[in-house]
Amino acid sequence: MNQDTETQSTTGNALDAVRANPRPVAVWGAVAALLLLPELGAVLASVAEAVAILVSLIPGDPGAALVTDIQRAVGDIPTLLSRETIPNRGYYDGSQWQGTFAGLEPRDAWLLRAVLIYTYALLVFWWVVVGYRWFRSNYRVSDWTPFDDMLDRFRTHRWGHFGLLVVVLFLILVVFAPSLSTTTVDQNIVDPYSHEISYYDHEVESVEQTTVGTANRESQSTGEENIGPWTYDDYGRFHPFGTLPSGKDLFTFIAAGARVSLVIGLVAIGLAGLIAVSLALLSAYYQGLVDLAVVLSSDSIQGLPSLLILLLLSVLLSDTWIGGIYSGGFVLALIYGAISWPFLWRALRGPALQTAGEEWVDAARNFGQAPHTIMRKHILPYIAGYLLVYGSMSLGGAIISIAGLSFLGLGIDAPTPEWGRAVNAGQEYVASESWHISLIPGVLITLLVTGFNALGDGIRDAIDPQSDTDSGTESAATGGGA
């Protein structure tokens, strides 16, 4: 945790160390550049898009044309691990597959792409870890920092590793969702009747054209008719998780829904964390009346039935402008953040109070440092780790809550994919052939929430081996009963 301050004070020396021994940094940089190459197009496109959004915020749109030019130029740079370079969608022309990668059948082409993307992403993750290790052994001036001990404790924490693995796999799914899914959200879910596909009609033995919407209607999973996991439908489309009752591809739905869930969860917990940290710092530093005021307001908010408030407000705000942002997800995230910060604050209050009582805080105060500097420099670093722990655990709760609302048909508006809605769609068919529709999203939510909790456990044991489960956040971790 002291890491930041330690490296800051020794930056000059670290630069000297690089000058004395430039080989590791050169090798690391070269490999990192190589690793960037396959995704160069996608990375530049995201950067260009971010710039475009920033420019569009400036009144008068100066340089809008320039930005469009840049975006077009960037669009020409190929992305190797994408749907375009390794296509999985094609049709059978009676003798072989047309349009798929190297004439493979769609299943194998998709599998190849998925395996390549996961390998690539895990490689990038590993290379970052290697980078930190090289930095530590070659360039860092101090032999030891408290952060090293935390890393060492985490390295033997099996349960934490499980959590990290689940979370990393989920993050890869979120980041690469458009390339990983078998078809695009726009083509398959949002606007199926505006897209045409070719397929091989076995009855007339020729290649025919049809809209995706018609094909979906013939590929429904409703018990009697069923396109189960890991099968093809009649239109030569491969469905790794089967289809929804509407005939849409469940894997594409889940991958896009993972993005929605994570974004909402991160915004909600980010907001809650921001409020919780600010209030924990203020109440620990000033104590007395400030502390009492925060205790009272957090008690009051915790006294509200959170899921019901979320339900009521999402209904009331659904027709307003704020309810339309991100298919209603933005307002959900705001409400969730506003009602869940007390759980985080309770977990941070103890460590913050303890740190505020330390001698160095007293020394800084006598030395004449401003209160906000003391809070930021001398208290914040010691509670940041706890924020990570309880933030990770609450993220699971947020994802469950949002899924619960979508299950009731509230919150995220259709057709934007959300896991809870898939569970709802498959509700009637659980005991039939089409068991996959409800079962797969539910298993994934359970796995993901367990993963976030395990990661939280691991980090907590790493930063503070003495502590054990804090009862205050137990209900936050389960999403208020969803």
Partner 1 sequence: MSRLRYFFKRLLLSLPVLVFGTSVTFLAIHAGPVDPVAAILGTQTDAASQEEYNRIRRQLGLHLPLWQQYIEFMIDMATLDLGQSWVISPKTSTETLISAYAPRTLWLGFWSILIAIFVGVPLGFYAGMRSNTSADYFASVGGIVWRAMPNFWLAVILVAFLSQSQEFVGVSWQTLGPDVTVTGAAPLQNLSDPNNLLAAIKKVFPAALVLGSASMGNEMRIGRTAVLETINKNYVQTARGKGVSRRTLVWKHIFRNAFIPLVPIITGEAFVLIGGSVLVETVFGINGIGYLFYRASVQGDLPLVGSLMFVFILVIVFVNILQDLLYILIDPRIGYSDT
Question: Rule CB under 8 A: which residues touch partner 1?
Answer: 296-297, 299-301, 303-309, 311-313, 315-317, 319-320, 396, 400, 403-404, 407-408, 410, 420, 423, 426-427, 430-431, 435, 438-439, 441-442, 445-447, 449-450, 453-454, 468-469, 471, 474-475, 477-482
Q: Which is nearer to partner 1, 114 or 339 (CB)?
A: 339
Rounded to a whole number of angstroms, the minimum distance from the CB of residue 17 to partner 1 is 44
Task: Determine phi and psi for 203, rounding to 5 degrees.
Answer: -70, -45
Rounded to a whole number of angstroms, the minimum distance from the CB of residue 112 to partner 1 is 32
The C-alpha atoms of residue 187 and residue 211 are separated, in whole angstroms, by: 10
Q: List Cβ neighbours of 2 (8 Å cut-off, separation of 6 or more).
A: 145, 146, 147, 381
The C-alpha atoms of residue 50 and residue 47 are separated, in whole angstroms, by: 5
Instruction: Retrieve residue 400's tokens.
Output: 């469950």
Rounded to a whole number of angstroms, the minimum distance from the CB of residue 227 to partner 1 is 19
The C-alpha atoms of residue 414 and residue 406 are separated, in whole angstroms, by: 9
Q: Which is nearer to partner 1, 38 or 479 (CB)?
A: 479
The C-alpha atoms of residue 321 and residue 34 are separated, in whole angstroms, by: 44
User: How far is the CA of 323 from the CAs of 260, 317, 348, 401, in angstroms?
Assistant: 15, 5, 31, 17
Rounded to a whole number of angstroms, the minimum distance from the CB of residue 341 to partner 1 is 15
Q: Which is nearer to partner 1, 101 or 429 (CB)?
A: 429
The C-alpha atoms of residue 89 and residue 241 are separated, in whole angstroms, by: 16
Q: Which is nearer to partner 1, 385 or 456 (CB)?
A: 456
The C-alpha atoms of residue 374 and residue 377 are separated, in whole angstroms, by: 5
Count of CA atoms in the C-beta half-sphere (13 A) of 296: 6
Q: Which is nearer to partner 1, 16 or 474 (CB)?
A: 474
> What residue type is assigned to position 294 of the chain?
V
Q: Which is nearer to partner 1, 143 or 319 (CB)?
A: 319
Rounded to a whole number of angstroms, the minimum distance from the CB of residue 307 to partner 1 is 3
